[in-house]
Chain A
Amino acid sequence: MSERKFRYVGTRPIRHDGMDKVTGRANFGADFTLAGLLVGKVLRSPHAHARIRSIDTSRAAALPGVHAVATSADLPEQEHGPGVDMHDLTRNILAREKVLYDGHAVAAVAAISDRIASEALALIDVDYEVLPPVLSVDEAIRPDAVLLDESLRCEGPDPKPAGPTNVAARLQIGRGDVAKGFAEADEIVEREFTTQAVHQGYIEPHAVAARTGADGQSVVWCCTQGHFAVRSYSARLLGLDVSQIKVIPSEIGGGFGGKTTVYLEPLAILLSRKAGRPVKMVMTRAEVFRASGPAGGTRIRLKVGVTRAGRITAADATLLYEAGAFKGSAVMAGVMCMFAPYDVANVRLEGFDILVNKPKGAAYRAPGAPMAAFASETVLDELARRIGMDPIELRLRNAVREGSQAVYGPKLKAVGFVECLEAARNHPHYKAPLGPNQGRGVAAGFWFNGNLQSSAQVSLNEDGTATVVSGCPDIGGSRTSLAIMAAEELGIPVERVRPVVADTETVGYNDVTGGSRVTFATGTAVIEAARDVVRQLRERAAALWGIDVAHVKWEDGRALSQNGVTQEPLGIADITRKAAQTGGPILGRSSWMAKGNGPSFAVHIGDVELDPETGRVVVKRYTAVQDAGRAIHPSYVEGQLQGGVAQGVGWALNEAYLYDAQGHMQNAGFLDYRMPVASDLPMIDTVIVEVPNPHHPYGVRGVGETPIVPPLATVANALHDASGVRMCDLPMSPPAVLEALESRR
């Protein structure tokens, strides 16, 4: 790629939605109100596992003020299918034969007030046959395990369970000869790791308002990472045409993957259709914890061999991932990511997707990868110590680079892992002195980054300003990144470009904001749409000047004549004011199925301090190094790195779903599900490495997900450095650390 000089890319303009968000004007999911609005509420299962013998809603429906009651009987049956499995999804939004987790939705009501809706829920009679819950992968895979779904059969290559099972899938990737690889090793480490279910922890609960007219057209306002997905899933779940539903995305108060599916939205539409009045539904925080889509717990066994020269000779791993109540954990991504950073000849990685009586997992930032990297990056740390090698040096000696055949398949194009490792090694943090009871850890991380479908429009206004219309909800500042890219192409200041996230009827189809794809995929669409605009601007200037368009150049926001005859350059406003004379409004469009969102690598350095009396571990200093390809708005790239680190540190030290023996979640609130607060963390330094992605016009790689991958092992390795204790079970909470310290004594 030729080195292009950028004028706006890499600058830090104030985000366009910032003013609304610091003044309280921005409308989030729960902020909508409509005349005649009903309150919708969900009856949730008190049992982790039970057969539903019957549901009687007659007493609830008869309560004055109740306008609609819904159960799974109101939804058409669905078939199993590829992609999002509608058979499972319809059962997740309203239970059918069974309830499969504490909090599973059973029925929904719409009433004139919150109080009456609550009373109505209490009048719904559900006859349950309570069944023993399956609460861990270990219980689930026992030959005599209680089954969640008697019809489930394990998919994938043998060896796998035959007959009814809780194991939804077995998968395997690998290459070379693992036995031969271990025979060549000088040191081998084999360990087992466990992680607990964790939640994305977005501060805004799921919220939706839906209104249906007498013509059967429904309008939905909701906070989502993908309003086109909400439309598509809701239409299929309700047996409607897609064109019968319009979804208007609100501002979204965090998602991290957890708002890529539907929970309340189809229920609100259903209730509004039944009631003939608008219905609003907002989850409580307890409902968010119990009944949205956390990342499931895992058990991972891993064995790795290295030579004394620091060459990884073989890796063999088995990854068991909780899917929750329905199939579809992120184990495949875990398997594929685990050794993606390393060029290893002999690898055998197998994964199992396992049902348990916990909420169906949803995506959570680099789904599946943090747990796998916790295992692999911890074992590499131990191996580096065994052979007396610096841990970054060990990683450098095995790092993938351009042309490497990745363990998960493809031959890699330009990637920045080596550059990240070198930047980390050269960072002052890596050499800084440590205090008493302090230790330092390093770990690496990888994420594929996503592609999917995007479309965008760039239109010019009569005064020369521009509007960028896209259809991917903006969670972390992507709107402004899109505006920067349009500004770069048009040659006008970012403040003259207004970015808009449009509803499902106002812009072409867009897949979800997910996979760290928006700045890459939608950004490319915006650049192409802006180039379409520039082409038209040149044509209009040529028409105004009466010259051949080939002689019109676009530079710094102005048309310049190149045919030897001096013309006063024409700015956008000069052209748009005369648009009616030259062919009408100027609108550029682009849509594509994205390809080539280059993978991103990160290397983290973390220092922790251990209180040996209490077992409390505090992160004292942290540096995140990551390849962004090209940072469009560096502040928001840094923000992604810092936010991912904070979530990863929470996962490492505090966060976990806790269940009693009956499968009731014990900590469904922010007091007991302890996410990091400001006083738990230090400043988080960032280093942005830029190895351009050859598949983006400016070199952009997604950055959002990779930063949550390394912190688990970074903190564990730092704690080992501080204490000599190797923690393989998360979270490394004070009691767990204290127990580990005491068992060593």
Chain B
Amino acid sequence: MAKLHVTTEINGESAEFLCEPHQTLLSALRDDLQLTGVKEGCSTGDCGACSVILDGRLVCSCLVLAAEVDGASLLTVEGLARGGRLHPLQQKFLEHAALQCGVCTPGILVAAKALLDRNPDPSEEQARYALAGNLCRCTGYDKIIRAVLDAAAELRGAAR
């Protein structure tokens, strides 16, 4: 079967790739575009390690077909830092020791970005529910939640 040609925007830059009709966005990002910061933990949409932001919406890239992103705009963990400067979420994750093994970290950072984009001042409970689709087995979530709330506070300060 002929491959499909997809034109999209990834992390602020235009990108093109060819994909199989059945290929997942996760596979295209990792295997064809070498964006291996997007992690595969389950391929069934249960762990959140492959989270990306698709046209402003948080999705599991394992549940999206690559062909669906034609004309869309994507953000992956690789696009969080801009111009060599870490996003405040990334900086706070480092300062709070909010990662241990680090394999869930890209997905959680992206999910946290999606949260803060729509709710700049989440409560602890709102942050916990917003990240409930992202499994972390190492940290018990404590330091992750603290890092997200601290990053939110910093972003609010910067926005003032």
A678 touching B127, Cβ below 8 Å: yes
CB within 8 Å for A475 and B100 given contacts A202-B137, A678-B132: yes
Tell whether A15 is near chain B: CB-to-CB under 8 Å: yes
A14 touching B95, Cβ below 8 Å: yes
B97 touching A675, Cβ below 8 Å: no
B100 touching A636, Cβ below 8 Å: yes
Q: Which of B25-60 contact A (CB under 8 A)?
A: 30-31, 34-44, 46-47, 49
Tell whether A161 is near chain B: CB-to-CB under 8 Å: no
**Candidates B34, B42, B124, B132; contact of A677 at CB < 8 Å:** B132
B127 touching A670, Cβ below 8 Å: no
A22 touching B93, Cβ below 8 Å: yes
B43 touching A24, Cβ below 8 Å: no
**Candidates B31, B137, B143; contact of A254 at CB < 8 Å:** B137
**Closest CB of chain A to B90's CB: distance in Å?**
4
Write the A49-91 contact mask toward B (1 if CB under 8 angstroms, else 0).
0000000000000000000000000000000000000000000
User: Chain B interface mostly helix, strand, loop or mixed?
Assistant: loop
B128 touching A205, Cβ below 8 Å: no
Tell whether A12 is near chain B: CB-to-CB under 8 Å: yes
A646 to B36, CA, bound (A): 28
A679 touching B137, Cβ below 8 Å: no
Smallest Cβ-Cβ distance to B106: which chain A residue: A24
Write the B114-131 contact mask toward A (1 if CB under 8 angstroms, else 0).
000000000011011101
CB within 8 Å for A204 and B100 given contacts A639-B143, A642-B139, A677-B135: no
A669 to B77, CA, bound (A): 25
**Closest CB of chain B to A182's CB: distance in Å?**
40
A203 touching B135, Cβ below 8 Å: yes
A21 touching B99, Cβ below 8 Å: yes
A675 touching B101, Cβ below 8 Å: no
**Closest CB of chain A to B103's CB: distance in Å?**
3
Smallest Cβ-Cβ distance to A640: which chain B residue: B100
B-side contacts of A645, CB under 8 Å = 140
Q: Which of B120-160 contact A (CB under 8 A)?
A: 124-125, 127-129, 131-146
CB within 8 Å for A24 and B97 given contacts A642-B142, A669-B44: no
**Closest CB of chain B to A406's CB: distance in Å?**
29
**Candidates A15, A646, A683; contact of B145 at CB < 8 Å:** A683
Tell whether A713 is near chain B: CB-to-CB under 8 Å: no
A-side contacts of B95, CB under 8 Å = 14
Smallest Cβ-Cβ distance to B35: which chain A residue: A24
Tell whether A27 is near chain B: CB-to-CB under 8 Å: yes
**Candidates B103, B104, B134, B138; contact of A476 at CB < 8 Å:** B138
CB within 8 Å for A285 and B43 given contacts A24-B78, A475-B100, A677-B135: yes
A253 touching B102, Cβ below 8 Å: yes
Tell whether B94 is near chain A: CB-to-CB under 8 Å: yes
Tell whether B86 is near chain A: CB-to-CB under 8 Å: yes
Tell whether A28 is near chain B: CB-to-CB under 8 Å: yes
**Closest CB of chain B to A10's CB: distance in Å?**
14
**Closest CB of chain B to A708's CB: distance in Å?**
11
A-side contacts of B142, CB under 8 Å = 638, 642, 681, 683-684
**Closest CB of chain B to A292's CB: distance in Å?**
14
B42 touching A28, Cβ below 8 Å: no
A475 touching B46, Cβ below 8 Å: no
Tell whether A343 is near chain B: CB-to-CB under 8 Å: no
Tell whether B19 is near chain A: CB-to-CB under 8 Å: no
Smallest Cβ-Cβ distance to B37: which chain A residue: A24
A644 to B138, CA, bound (A): 8
The number of chain B residues with a CB under 8 A from chain A is 58
CB within 8 Å for A25 and B128 given contacts A15-B97, A203-B136: no
**Closest CB of chain B to A113's CB: distance in Å?**
10
Smallest Cβ-Cβ distance to B34: which chain A residue: A33
Write the A18-39 contact mask toward B (1 if CB under 8 angstroms, else 0).
1101111111101101000000
A-side contacts of B67, CB under 8 Å = none
Smallest Cβ-Cβ distance to A18: which chain B residue: B94
Tell whether B81 is near chain A: CB-to-CB under 8 Å: yes
A23 touching B101, Cβ below 8 Å: no
CB within 8 Å for A23 and B137 given contacts A203-B47, A679-B129: no
B42 touching A670, Cβ below 8 Å: yes
CB within 8 Å for A24 and B76 given contacts A203-B49, A678-B145: yes
A642 touching B143, Cβ below 8 Å: yes
A204 touching B132, Cβ below 8 Å: no
CB within 8 Å for A284 and B94 given contacts A22-B86, A642-B139: no
Tell whether A252 is near chain B: CB-to-CB under 8 Å: yes
**Closest CB of chain A to B136's CB: distance in Å?**
7
B42 touching A647, Cβ below 8 Å: no
Task: Tell which of A12, A15, A253 has the most Cβ of chain B within 10 Å.
Answer: A253
**Candidates A33, A255, A643; contact of B139 at CB < 8 Å:** A643
A-side contacts of B140, CB under 8 Å = 639, 642-646, 676, 681, 684
Write the B54-77 contact mask toward A (1 if CB under 8 angstroms, else 0).
000000000000000000000011
B135 touching A477, Cβ below 8 Å: no
A479 to B118, CA, bound (A): 37
CB within 8 Å for A254 and B132 given contacts A22-B94, A28-B39: no
A670 touching B139, Cβ below 8 Å: no
Tell whether A405 is near chain B: CB-to-CB under 8 Å: no
A669 touching B101, Cβ below 8 Å: no
A31 to B37, CA, bound (A): 9
Tell whether A187 is near chain B: CB-to-CB under 8 Å: no
Smallest Cβ-Cβ distance to B148: which chain A residue: A678
A645 to B139, CA, bound (A): 9
Write the A284-319 contact mask toward B (1 if CB under 8 angstroms, else 0).
110000000000000000000000000000000000
A635 touching B143, Cβ below 8 Å: yes
A33 to B109, CA, bound (A): 25
Report 12 cross-chain contacts, Cβ distance below 8 Å, ordered by A residue: A22-B77, A22-B86, A203-B135, A253-B41, A636-B100, A642-B142, A670-B46, A677-B132, A679-B128, A680-B132, A681-B140, A684-B142
Q: Interface on B for A, CB 8 Å cutoff? A: 30-31, 34-44, 46-47, 49, 76-78, 80-81, 86, 90, 93-97, 99-106, 109, 124-125, 127-129, 131-146
Q: Which 6 A-B pairs have the closest CB atoms?
A: A24-B37, A253-B103, A21-B102, A642-B140, A646-B140, A635-B97
Other than the given A22-B105, A24-B77, A638-B97, 16 more pairs (CB < 8 A) read A17-B102, A18-B93, A22-B94, A22-B102, A28-B103, A30-B36, A201-B135, A203-B39, A203-B103, A284-B43, A285-B44, A643-B137, A670-B47, A678-B141, A678-B145, A679-B132
